[in-house]
Homo-oligomer: A and B are copies of this chain.
């Protein structure tokens, strides 16, 4: 059950409206690396965590709710970057510098479909999709998905930071980048708290996998090359269960292909 308060989690100011930056900010709202994704991802993951792991359920849901507040902050930032372009004065649109910039460099739909406000789309105008949400029902896999989400999320936020010199936007982004730092750290700490969990899912017994191929780096170069002696071709494997090796794709020979083909009977035209 959810509640809200009529204040932002952190101040959002814009000194100079910039429609092009408003378009960029959309990536952080509705994009693959954006806040709608993490808010919903952590929420659906939390829905799936059972009682005996309530500490993880709480961890996930509390962060989901924090991210809802980030959507709100970014939506405010988008509106403020499109200000100076109130609909009432749109008729004089082409003479107004902000409107003109909006028309040339902003997202058309932001004017046409949303009256110069935030939308659930990314910076290219592609709608948010449930496809972005990873909630696998396996906690270790989910936590790695979260590490990844906060890695690309902080990367996005730093790229946005470098594209503005508006003090208000820099301040908002310096807060969001800090939160991404925290979230990366908390998901790493949570993964560490699981103890031995590699390979994911740890619940599947490795005896059932074809262990002949479990720790061999498979080179696919056209001409065979010698072992490059990299950390992924020699030495103990991170899961602690084997030694890296170096080899080629096995290939199951023509015979099998023949057999395979013999069994198939399709029309051709």
The listed residue (B87, B221, B238) touching A4 by CB distance below 8 A is B221
In the complex, what residues of B have CB within 8 A of residue A103's CB?
A: 20, 105, 163
A189 to chain B, nearest CB (A): 4
With A148-B147, A162-B93, A221-B3 known as contacts, the answer to whether A127 contacts B131 (CB < 8 A) is yes
Are A220's CB and B2's CB within 8 A? yes
A54 to chain B, nearest CB (A): 7
With A86-B266, A201-B155, A267-B203 known as contacts, the answer to whether A217 contacts B182 (CB < 8 A) is yes
Are B244's CB and A185's CB within 8 A? yes
A152 to chain B, nearest CB (A): 5
With A115-B138, A201-B154, A220-B65 known as contacts, the answer to whether A178 contacts B3 (CB < 8 A) is no
The listed residue (B5, B159, B179, B231) touching A112 by CB distance below 8 A is B159
The 22 listed contacts between A and B (C-beta, < 8 Å) are A9-B249, A27-B108, A49-B268, A51-B264, A65-B220, A83-B263, A87-B266, A108-B124, A115-B159, A123-B125, A134-B152, A141-B155, A174-B209, A177-B209, A178-B214, A182-B216, A185-B237, A185-B238, A189-B244, A190-B232, A193-B232, A201-B269
Q: Using A1-B69, A185-B198 as known contacts, list a sample of 11 further A-B pairs with CB atoms less than 8 Å apart, ordered by residue number in A.
A: A7-B252, A55-B230, A62-B217, A79-B264, A88-B265, A93-B162, A129-B130, A140-B268, A151-B199, A177-B208, A185-B238
